[in-house]
Amino acid sequence: MMPLDEFERGEWWNARHAALTTGALAELACVVEASAPKPGNVSPDRPFADMTYEDFVASAAAIREPFSGATTRPVGETIRLAAEATSRCTSANTNLGIILLLAPLARATAYFVRAHDPTREGDLRNLREELEEVLAETTVGDARDVYYAIRLANPGGLGRATEQDVAHEPTVTLLEAMRLAADRDGIAREYATTFATTFETAVPALLRARRDSLHWRDAVVETYLTIVAAGPDTHVARRGGKRLAGEVARMARAALAAGGVRSDAGRRAIDAMDDSLRDPANLANPGTSADLTAAAIFVTMVVRGWWPHGRVRFADVRPVAGTVGG
């Protein structure tokens, strides 16, 4: 694998695109995801009883420093440092799933080689290939750090596992531990499948929405609904049961069929879905789908860059070679 800084540093520079470190991209992905009014999730003016939008913004700021060094340290260490930084600014579990997903992605950007492909499909393929290698190289030490981070965040409805339970010290690599949990947890399934949902469902949905001139807010909501519709969301299934998770997926499909963010009828369906998913215990919160949405945002910004308004102009928005890798 060849680090980015061995490539022509000026090749992808564009004056309209600010140079963003990996830490800044991680923070920005979290803020963009939290700022979109995704049904059943916290967003501006839509708090839960135990957490607010400001908790998510503070958590996003907290992980910037740990992720700024993510390209040069083990995946598990980045996850542990990010979880510790988050715990110092909020007692709520705002971002465990996100940091579990972003850490290996951030590590993979250190070796990401652009494909000189105008469609950028080659860029996505190359990033995923580097990610596969990053995941394969994880160790028992990575698993130990991740188990600690999970216990620190204390996610609801975790339950017990017959093998490699997080309450105990792991004896297998991080990738092996995730494979053991893949049948019941959507984040673990991403590790086991080299981020299949992220690269095959979420990122294509987000890129399509941006190509169609949707601004980030609407594009993120559409991406999230696409992920939920493909469910069931394992966070809902774990806390509220499989039947509830199936009903949440059905509502997302209905909202998209009505036009989603692209029509008045679709927006009414989204609002109705949001009302239906809010309960005091947040049992119907599709949290895993929200985490996967953040991963899609991060990947999109790595391969396409950041363009805040209007239609994405892919020829103009390319990250600076070297800075995306840290």
| CATH numbers and ranges of domains, the chain | 4-304 (1.10.4200.10)
- Cβ neighbour number for residue 125 with a 10 Å cutoff: 13
Please name the residue that has the structure tokens 């908790």: 55
For residues 41 and 48, what is the distance between their CA atoms, to the nearest angstrom? 8
Angle at 296 between CA 320 and CA 63, to 5 degrees: 70
pLDDT in tens, the chain (326 residues): 333 333 223 333 232 334 578 999 999 999 999 999 999 999 999 999 999 999 999 999 999 999 999 999 999 999 999 999 999 999 889 999 999 999 999 999 988 766 555 566 788 999 999 999 999 999 999 999 999 999 999 876 566 667 777 778 999 999 999 999 999 999 999 999 999 999 999 999 999 999 999 999 999 999 999 999 998 999 999 999 999 999 999 999 999 999 999 999 999 999 999 999 998 889 999 999 999 999 999 999 998 887 665 544 443 333 333 334 33
| Residue 95 zone, left/alpha/beta (φ > 0; ψ -120 to 50; rest) | alpha
* Three-state DSSP state, 173: coil
Cis-peptide into 286, omega within 30 deg: no
Give me the helices (H) in 90-232, please.
Answer: 96-108, 121-136, 140-153, 174-181, 186-192, 196-197, 203-211, 216-229
Please name the residue that has the structure tokens 């949440």: 248
* Three-state DSSP state, 43: strand
Cβ contact 62:31 at 8 Å: no
For residues 209 and 194, what is the distance between their CA atoms, to the nearest angstrom? 23
Please name the residue that has the structure tokens 């490539």: 7
